[in-house]
């Protein structure tokens, strides 16, 4: 039986929840009813640290709910009234792939008259990643993100987020997906005008500011739920869309990845071990604001949708 996990409440007192069918339930309430004390005390972050063990317990719990939902009525939650946090509240490292969709690279090349390589893998170029900050950068579904100071060009980037559930060190492409716990929708919010340090000499290797560009409070909305990998199938054939104020801006498919999820995991794990709770943002498709020169403003609402993973809404304030 398919289930998904979520986190709700306040940042100081988050609670784990589980979605089974159309029912949103307190994980602690359902686990107490079924006598699974370990689950009752667990956050989503805790579950990821022992993911192989957690999976079997969560499957049993989801099956029990599906067989007789009425038994768990006292654990039922009203999804519309919940304050949803990012499913992970204590993430590990957040890696993010740059220029990883064919359509995005082609659009940027055209918009800025740049000679970008449209098949980097074909000419032996390795995947490319940067880092986003940790817990302070997170935001959940229906979350409000404060417009970053001294920014005029705040951009959106719909992304598939991959969550590691098993230690990965030097893994092969063929075995890489065995280390994935699940997937989420993500929005890699980017302060484009913080990327270049204007007072640094153009020839300086210290001219670029990736922290100012990519890491600020709320810059990594995740959610609305965490979907285990067993219910996703291939991560390379998922429709992905983003709207700004109801207007479609990005509409693509993960089949446009230049480097697929397995290749990204294998590449990263050659450089540094990956641990449960680490997150990989796998790139964004064409349609970002940078391509057209149209950016977010206060009051704007973005929605990221990925097939089977839900819809993630963010308001800029």
Rounded CA gap, 239 and 233, in Å?
13
- Residue 286: pLDDT band (50, 70, 90) is very high
C-beta atoms surrounding 70 within 10 Å: 7
pLDDT over 70, % of the chain:
96
Domains and CATH numbers, the chain: 3-85 (no CATH), 94-316 (3.90.850.10)
Lowest mean pLDDT among 205-219, 275-289, 290-304: 205-219
Residues 151-160: what's their mean pLDDT?
97
Which runs of consecutive H residues, i.e. helices, occur in the chain? 27-34, 37-40, 44-49, 51-67, 102-111, 173-176, 210-214, 261-271, 289-292
Residue 111 scores a pLDDT above 70: no
Residue 147 scores a pLDDT above 90: yes
Cβ atoms of residues 110 and 267 within 8 Å: no
Q: Is the peptide bond before 209 cis (omega within 30 degrees of 0)?
A: no
Q: In this predicted structure, what is the pLDDT of residue 244?
A: 98
Q: In this predicted structure, what is the pLDDT of residue 206?
A: 80
194 bridge partner residues: none
C-beta atoms surrounding 281 within 10 Å: 27
Q: In this predicted structure, what is the pLDDT of residue 247?
A: 98
Lowest mean pLDDT among 16-20, 98-102, 201-205, 242-246: 201-205
Residue 176 scores a pLDDT above 80: yes
Residue 21 scores a pLDDT above 80: yes
Rounded CA gap, 221 and 137, in Å?
8
Cα angle: 136, vertex 152, 189; to 5 degrees: 35
Q: In this predicted structure, what is the pLDDT of residue 113?
A: 67
Selection from 305, 230, 261 nearest residue 127 by Cα: 261
| pTM tops 0.75 | yes
Residues 300-313: what's their mean pLDDT?
98
Q: In this predicted structure, what is the pLDDT of residue 119?
A: 83
- Residue 31: pLDDT band (50, 70, 90) is very high
Q: In this predicted structure, what is the pLDDT of residue 248?
A: 98
DSSP state, residue 125: P
pLDDT per residue over 39-92, tens digit each?
999 999 999 999 999 999 999 999 999 999 999 999 999 999 999 999 999 999
Q: In this predicted structure, what is the pLDDT of residue 196?
A: 63
- Starting from the edge strand earliest in sequence, which strands make up the sheet with 247-253, in order? 143-145, 310-316, 301-306, 239-244, 247-253
Pairing of strands 239-244, 301-306: antiparallel
C-beta atoms surrounding 74 within 10 Å: 11
Cβ atoms of residues 9 and 83 within 8 Å: yes
Which segment, 33-37, 116-120, 139-143, 208-212, is predicted with the most confidence on average?
Answer: 139-143
- Residue 145: pLDDT band (50, 70, 90) is very high
Q: In this predicted structure, what is the pLDDT of residue 283?
A: 97
Nearest 5°: phi and psi at 308? Answer: 85, -10
Q: In this predicted structure, what is the pLDDT of residue 103?
A: 84
Q: In this predicted structure, what is the pLDDT of residue 177?
A: 98
Lowest mean pLDDT among 144-148, 168-172, 208-212: 208-212
Residues 278-295: what's their mean pLDDT?
96
Cβ atoms of residues 164 and 52 within 8 Å: no
């Amino acid at each position: 039986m398919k289930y998904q996990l979520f986190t709700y409440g306040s940042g100081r007192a988050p609670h784990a929840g589980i979605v089974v069918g159309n029912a949103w339930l307190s994980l602690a309430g359902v686990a107490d009813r079924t006598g699974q004390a370990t689950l009752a005390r667990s956050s989503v972050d805790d579950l990821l640290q022992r993911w192989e063990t957690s999976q079997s317990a969560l499957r049993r719990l989801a099956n029990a709910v599906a067989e007789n939902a009425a038994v768990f009525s006292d654990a039922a939650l009203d999804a519309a009234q919940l304050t949803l946090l990012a499913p992970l509240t204590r993430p590990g490292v957040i890696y993010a792939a740059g220029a990883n969709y064919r359509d995005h690279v082609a659009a940027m090349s055209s918009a800025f008259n740049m000679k970008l390589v449209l098949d980097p893998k074909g000419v032996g170029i390795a995947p490319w990643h940067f880092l986003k900050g940790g817990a302070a950068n997170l935001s959940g579904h229906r979350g409000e993100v404060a417009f970053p100071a001294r920014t005029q060009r705040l951009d959106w980037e719909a992304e598939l987020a991959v969550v590691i559930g098993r230690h990965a060190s030097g893994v092969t492409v063929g075995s890489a997906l065995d280390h994935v716990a699940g997937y989420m929708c993500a929005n890699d919010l980017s302060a484009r005008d913080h990327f270049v340090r204007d007072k640094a000499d153009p020839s300086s290797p210290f001219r670029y500011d990736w922290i100012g560009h990519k890491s600020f409070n709320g810059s990594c909305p995740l959610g609305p739920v965490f979907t285990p990998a067993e219910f996703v199938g291939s991560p390379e054939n998922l429709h992905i869309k983003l709207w700004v104020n109801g207007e479609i801006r990005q509409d693509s498919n993960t089949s446009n990845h230049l480097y697929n999820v397995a290749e990204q995991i294998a590449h990263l794990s050659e450089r540094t071990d990956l641990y449960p709770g680490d997150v990989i943002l796998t790139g964004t498709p064409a349609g970002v604001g940078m391509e057209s020169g149209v950016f977010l403003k206060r009051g704007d609402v973005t929605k990221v949708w990925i097939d089977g993973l839900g819809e993630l809404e963010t308001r800029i304030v």
